Chain A
Amino acid sequence: MSEKKLAIIATKGTLDWAYPPFILSSTAAALGYEVMIFFTFYGLQLLKKDLNLKVSPLGNPGMPMPMGMDKWFPVLGTAIPGMESMMTMMMKNTMKKKGVASIEDLRELCIEAEVKLVACQMTVDLFDMDHSDFLDGLDFVGAASFFEFAGDADITLYI
């Protein structure tokens, strides 16, 4: 069986958006794909040594809220200070209860499965980030490196 290739660009740094790249990559690796994820802009948050990802109900009308809160909570209420932390905590608890893996675990599974995690150097410069805040052993690269891999990928996703 010749090895298929999956290339993903991960651009978002919230808890909910952290799932698709890591779920798809770990699964693809288990199916025998060679996988690369190129993390850029807010996606770089997913490569920090200390993950502090949050989910926000603000501007996210599709997000189910616990206890039917979405039925009676005014849209502006989602901007109340503390709402983000509360929703993040509730989301993490729900995920744990439902047997959904944590992002830390999924990321570790990706690393074990030799998914290539590469970081956008331009973003690091742009936001004055420090290489030492990120996982050890990452490659910091540019767009050309993405295309070197994605150029003959079977599937390419922008997330």
Chain B
Amino acid sequence: MSDFDQELDARGLNCPLPILRAKKAINGLESGQVLRIIATDPGSVKDFEAFAKQTGNELMDSSESGGEFTFLMKKG
């Protein structure tokens, strides 16, 4: 598991809250810093890919374990 600068617990939240909370958290980061997001919404897997593509942030890693999805997003 790579390093991260901040963590966002988005467990139990449904669309579009994980994305909105992540956006807010990323706003508070410096360019190059990494946000780790933990979510339980299965839709968030594709949505964080789409979010990264459209916002210029980099989705460094996306993984699933026991119904929880973990994302590492580097601020662009």
Contacts and interface: CB of A to CB of B under 8 A. Distances in A.
A30 B23 contact: yes
Interface residues of A, number: 12
Interface hub of B16, B17, B41 (most chain A Cβ within 10 A): B16
Contacts of A98: 14
A23 B12 CA distance: 17
Interface residues of B, number: 14
Contacts of B19: 27, 30
Interface hub of A1, A27, A32, A109 (most chain B Cβ within 10 A): A27
Interface string B26-65: 0000000000000001000000000100111000000000
Interface of A: 1, 23, 26-27, 30-32, 98-101, 109
Contacts of B16: 23, 26-27, 30, 101
Nearest to B53: A31
A76 B19 CA distance: 41
A5 B23 CA distance: 18
B54 A99 contact: no
B55 A32 contact: yes
Contacts of A99: 12-14, 17, 41
10 contacts: A27-B19, A30-B55, A31-B51, A31-B55, A32-B54, A32-B55, A99-B41, A100-B14, A101-B14, A109-B20
Given A30-B23, A30-B51, A1 B56 contact: yes
B12 to A, nearest CB: 5
Contacts of B12: 99
A30 B20 contact: yes
Contacts of A23: 15-16
